[in-house]
Structure 1
Amino acid sequence: MYSKSVIFIWALLALCLNPLELISCQRVEQRFKFPNSDVYLRLLHSTKLQYQIMKGSKTVQTITLVNTATNNKLMQTDSGKFTLNTGDTTIEFELIPSEAGVVHVRVSRTVPYGSQPIDCVDLDIQNTHWYGGPEFKNHYWPVEKQTLTNFSYVTKEFENMGVAERYWFNTNGQFYYVDDQTPLFIEQNSFGYENKLCFSALSALPYNSRADKVNFVYNVGSAPNTKKAHMYAVKKFLKFPAEYPDERMVTHPIWSTWALYKRDINETIVREFGDAILRNGFNNSQLEIDDDWEDCYGALSYSKTKFPDMKKLTDELKVKGFRVTLWIHPFINKNCEPIYSEAFKKGYLVLDHNFTTDTQWWNSGPKEAAHVDFTKVEVRTWFSDRLKKLQEEGGIDSFKFDAGETSWMPDDPILQGDLSLSPTQMTRDYVRTVGAFGPMVEVRSGQNTQDLPIFVRVVDKDSEWGWNNGLLTLITTTIQMNLNGYPFVLPDMIGGNGYDDKPPSKELFLRWLQANVFMPSLQFSYVPWNFDAEAIEISKNFINMHADFAPEIIKRFKLATQTGEPVNLPLWWVDPEDKIAQGIYDQFLLGDDIIAAPVVQEGAVVRDIYLPKGEWKDGNTNIVHYGPKWLMAYSAPLDTLPYFERVSEKPTWW
């Protein structure tokens, strides 16, 4: 006769199906196999409903359905999908055909007004790191420690969130992508959702709050490793560019008036700025005239008091070897007449549901501005024609386009087009309109616009060192944007923007420049000659170094147009299974063969460096190291950027 303990264990095994899951065993409601596959859908019942996606006997995903009744049954349809009726809606599970080793399931349902289903995944899986999610001002990396509470997932002013692709993945090879039509809200590490990432859909602002029902659709799956999961997501969900931006902007520095002069610019200052660049022996890709060149904000006409003859000025600059670009925004201030009244009468401005244009941006007071409505075809043409006129009259080569985030519009806006995309269609329509002005274009926001051959600028960085929107976050933001499908990253001003009357120190300026060397472009506003002769010499060395490696950057640009592979990558790209590399946030790759390890701590003249597997030649000493290994207390005085190049030839014993 068998003992009671043996019988109990047999019972557990029968319920769990897999002995390895014995510890977390729950009563299995149902387990179905998708037709013509080895993929199963498994429904678990406890205090909350869960479903698992299994490949054979291995569980590859577990999702908890928080606001869903637990007494439901899976049904299989004639088409091979599964459905789960929850009373007020039906959840559909569809296995999507995918490449070898990848499991991809699409989960969809219609959500009635007032309902907010919440589907959650665990973040604290042992030794797991997470990537993806929004661009953030204080961009922690990896992203599993970030906290978000009922967070509307749209581009917005909050945290300077200019890019908000609905994509996450982790070091277990799991990936998640929420469809654009879903009015997505996020819970991450919030109260009641500790150590969880949760997706929900709700008919509420800032989305179209008048819909009586909305779609809640997301894609969940897994691949053999992190890199394969990401490359599958790039091909399936994220667009990648068909062409790449201007090569001169890669090779030589952009010089902007913004950080150094802010709004105190005029023809004399711009001319003197250009002369100083040349007098101190620096090259350029272009000179950028930033804020406050207009008659008034939104006029798109040159201020005659500041720039009495813009064409004469740009002609002079071009003779000296400069191209000239101009800062543009999507706003019209109400005191900017007659253009405000003209645009309002024509219906070219975004209205709220009270039919007012009231909004605010950083160059207006409350309710003193309006936002141009790029969701209308005729407005896109009107705006573009005005920009072309600016180019012709002023000899302008291209533009720097600011803003584009949805939160600059009036609350509860009336937009055109597919209302299930409201308000995010404003970002994409704006960026696509201005992106048509060619490969020198620079924008700071994006929404499913990865296919455009333009630079996307990181959020304005402060002249700080650490996680407080400082130098360290330049690296994490650049990697994050690449992993959101935007490989042509413009790293913004070297040394930061000097907000709150806090310009960068010489040390911060030079370390920032070094961190930029292996990124796509250098953009100066604070200048080396404002420090001393040593700063000028060190700056020239690293500007020349960047130019020397520009062919490698352009090579990666071209590859991005062919495969969608990022330009600047996290260190784990070399070896997706490397647990140490998965957590590194202060080193990065240019392509597969160059490791940059800039100094990002104030006062530091040494740093620890991790080298993943491979044979790496020190760019400063030519010493060859064989990874994986740590180089502890690597010497990096102020004139030194630690970097390593992969050695193509391996020794015979390797």
Structure 2
Amino acid sequence: MIKAFKICLFAVMLCTAGKGLYAQTSIAIKDGEKWFGGATNEAHLAPFKDGYSYDMYADTKGNQAAPLLVSTKGRFVWSEEPFKFAIANNKLLISNAKGPLTIDSAGKNLREAFSNASKGFFPAKGKLPDTLLFSKPQYNTWIELVYNQNQKDILKYARSIIDNGFPPGVIMIDDNWADYYGRFDFRADRFTNAAAMVDTLHSMGFKVMLWISPFVSPDTEVARELLAKKLLLTAYKVKTGNPEKDADEPAIISWWNGYSAVLDFTNPDAIKWFKSRLDHMVNTYHLDGFKFDAGDADFYPANVGSFKKVTPNEHSRLWGELGLYYPLNEYRAMWKMGGEPLVQRLRDKKHNWDDLQKLIPDLTTAGLLGYQFTCPDMIGGGEYGSFIGRDKLDEALVVRSAQCSALMPMMQFSVAPWRVLSKQNLAAVKKAVEVRAKYTPYIMQLVQKAAQTGEPIARSMEYEYPNQGFADVQGQFMLGNKYLVAPMVASGTKKTIYLPKGKWKSDLGKTVKGPAKIEMDVAADRLPVFELIK
């Protein structure tokens, strides 16, 4: 298939001599053609409208991204390097390209555009992440503990999961478990016996992941050791013009937790050092895997010294490669790693309805970029700032968020539903978990297939039913080719559902003939699902 793909119609734009950039390209948008891709976190703005622009260089929008655009008319644009694109005057304008462009017109619809791009540039590797991430809900300690990660409260959280009737799965210990960044041991003031804690979690049925980042706290013994070994990104002082002499101080990067040095993963020795520390954590504390946070392209300035000169985007991709050593992994930022057995999570969403409405377009676009093993954000929201100062959460939002996640590739809890919800709303969330359990065998079939073919697990309506008027529909998605999932993502109970042609059976047992536009009231504890039976 790949060989056949290579001889299909495509154009490669040639380099503009002496400029280091590639020629600006103008692509006329066909009648009715709509474009998707680029950054997952921008997906709610797609299909892209006139006036939209995005420069991928050193910017992955805090989430997954790829140098790929796909259209409803079967065309795609790909480059191995970042580029800028804009929609203006019925044209797709591409500029600031750091590498050649492939512009392919062999397909006829969105599905074929994705398939052709995937087979040619990011084919599925036939490997899976740890399947517990799909088969059971996940639990992250972030919203409950924030920066007060400690042994006592982690175990309390895990016991509460079981005591409140939720199934054990993967539990993630989040940030601030160490004395400082770069130190790979649990801090003694909060963890009296971390190995025993992990063993206890295992006995309860959990697998355990640990938050990590590529940052190293400056002015520490570890930072001095790494600098001496030339394993950190360095800052140019611009004294002699000689990079060997000028780049002898660590580059200090501003990120959400302050200012830190950063490991240089263009250096194979830095990879070896970092992996040795992760293996130390696995062997010493019996951990099962890692949550690889940060690694965003914008944390890698272009003007830093490194073992090998690469783009900020490539630094981000190299961070992604480390997860391939550990089947139990999760990333929030990614560049050009479609088709790999890496778990992605959508960027932290706020605790509001606007952000809940972004989950479906963001997740289905992740699939179009090759990131099939993607988790929606934490149920109820993962942006902890939106929880600060709240005496009471929006209980309906937590319930609808759980329902929205229930039939996505994964679902992840953080805020404890049993702490913030009434008895009735807690029962509704537990019902969503039960719905997932019902469909888990089918989800696992799709997961296995995605590893082999690269095909999305959760699909946009336009992907599954091309050129039938679904390109702008964002409030529902297809789980494989069999189930249409239409969660409530707005306040209230009124929902409009668009059924394609065919015979559909609803979760309430009613049969409906499509195409049809259905207006319905959705009960607080219901997740509407329609099965294609013919």
**TM-score for the superposition, normalised by structure 1:** 0.75
**Separation of aligned partners in 1, 2:383 and 2:341:** 29
Shift of 1:435: 2.2
Equivalent residue, structure 2, for 1:641: 527
Shift of 1:361: 4.1
Q: Residue 284 of structure 1: which of 168, 174, 182 is its match? A: 168
- TM alignment of 1:245-260, pairs within 5 A: 245-260=129-144
Alignment deviations for residues 83-122 of structure 1 (CA, whole Å, 9 cap, x no partner): xxxxxxxxxxxxx985699633333334422766311224
Pairing 1:477–2:372 present: no
Pairing 1:348–2:224 present: no
- TM alignment of 1:54-73, pairs within 5 A: none
Evaluate the alpha carbon distance shift between residue 304 and residue 487 of structure 1 in structure 2; reply closer, same or farther with a 3 A threshold.
same
Aligned residues: 518
Equivalent residue, structure 2, for 1:199: 94
Asked if structure 2 preserves the Cα contact closer than 8 Å seen for 1:152 and 1:186, the reply is: yes
**Separation of aligned partners in 1, 2:189 and 2:301:** 32
Alignment deviations for residues 373-420 of structure 1 (CA, whole Å, 9 cap, x no partner): 111111101100101111222221111110112221244123344x4x
Shift of 1:152: 4.1
Shift of 1:613: 1.5
Q: Which amino acid aligns with 2:79?
A: V
Equivalent residue, structure 1, for 2:198: 314
Percent of aligned positions that are identical = 27
Alignment deviations for residues 471-515 of structure 1 (CA, whole Å, 9 cap, x no partner): 111111101110001110011200102433436411111101111
Q: What secondary structure sits across from 1:628 in the alignment?
A: strand
- TM alignment of 1:365-514, pairs within 5 A: 365=258, 368-417=259-308, 419=309, 421-438=310-327, 440-466=328-354, 470-502=355-387, 504-514=393-403
Q: Residue 153 of structure 1: which of 57, 63, 66 is its match? A: 57
Evaluate the alpha carbon distance shift between residue 380 and residue 101 of structure 1 in structure 2; reply closer, same or farther with a 3 A threshold.
closer
**Separation of aligned partners in 1, 2:530 and 2:304:** 51
Evaluate the alpha carbon distance shift between residue 114 and residue 131 of structure 1 in structure 2; reply closer, same or farther with a 3 A threshold.
closer
Asked if structure 1 preserves the Cα contact closer than 8 Å seen for 2:212 and 2:292, the reply is: yes
Pairing 1:611–2:499 present: yes
**Separation of aligned partners in 2, 1:569 and 1:393:** 41
Evaluate the alpha carbon distance shift between residue 553 and residue 281 of structure 1 in structure 2; reply closer, same or farther with a 3 A threshold.
same
Pairing 1:121–2:4 present: no
Q: Which amino acid aligns with 2:91?
A: K
Evaluate the alpha carbon distance shift between residue 99 and residue 326 of structure 1 in structure 2; reply closer, same or farther with a 3 A threshold.
closer
Equivalent residue, structure 2, for 1:624: 511
Pairing 1:104–2:2 present: no
Asked if structure 2 preserves the Cα contact closer than 8 Å seen for 1:333 and 1:369, the reply is: yes
Alignment deviations for residues 11-34 of structure 1 (CA, whole Å, 9 cap, x no partner): xxxxxxxxxxxxxxxxxxxxxxxx
Shift of 1:533: 1.0
- Structure 1: runs of 5+ lacking an equivalent: 1-95, 203-213
Equivalent residue, structure 2, for 1:179: 80
Q: Which amino acid aligns with 2:436?
A: H
Shift of 1:447: 2.5
Alignment deviations for residues 566-589 of structure 1 (CA, whole Å, 9 cap, x no partner): 11101123321202x122111111
Equivalent residue, structure 2, for 1:542: 432
Equivalent residue, structure 1, for 2:66: 165
Evaluate the alpha carbon distance shift between residue 388 and residue 146 of structure 1 in structure 2; reply closer, same or farther with a 3 A threshold.
farther
Evaluate the alpha carbon distance shift between residue 145 and residue 240 of structure 1 in structure 2; reply closer, same or farther with a 3 A threshold.
farther
Q: Residue 575 of structure 1: which of 449, 465, 468 is its match? A: 465
Evaluate the alpha carbon distance shift between residue 230 and residue 272 of structure 1 in structure 2; reply closer, same or farther with a 3 A threshold.
same
Equivalent residue, structure 1, for 2:255: 362
Shift of 1:556: 0.9
Asked if structure 2 preserves the Cα contact closer than 8 Å seen for 1:285 and 1:323, the reply is: yes
Evaluate the alpha carbon distance shift between residue 543 and residue 361 of structure 1 in structure 2; reply closer, same or farther with a 3 A threshold.
farther
Q: What secondary structure sits across from 2:206 in the alignment?
A: coil
**Separation of aligned partners in 2, 1:598 and 1:446:** 27
**Separation of aligned partners in 1, 2:457 and 2:375:** 12
Pairing 1:131–2:52 present: no
Equivalent residue, structure 2, for 1:232: 116
Asked if structure 2 preserves the Cα contact closer than 8 Å seen for 1:461 and 1:496, the reply is: yes
Equivalent residue, structure 2, for 1:219: 103
Q: What secondary structure sits across from 2:15 in the alignment?
A: strand
Asked if structure 1 preserves the Cα contact closer than 8 Å seen for 2:341 and 2:451, the reply is: no
Runs of 4+ in 1 over 6 A off after TM superposition: none
**Separation of aligned partners in 2, 1:155 and 1:236:** 24
**Separation of aligned partners in 1, 2:454 and 2:150:** 42
Between 442-451 and 319-328, report the one with greater CA deviation. 442-451
Equivalent residue, structure 1, for 2:241: none
Asked if structure 2 preserves the Cα contact closer than 8 Å seen for 1:140 and 1:473, the reply is: no
Shift of 1:155: 4.2
**TM-score for the superposition, normalised by structure 2:** 0.91
Higher relative contact order (CA 8 A, sep 6+): 2
Q: Which amino acid aligns with 2:476?
A: Q
**Separation of aligned partners in 2, 1:199 and 1:140:** 18
**Separation of aligned partners in 1, 2:191 and 2:72:** 54
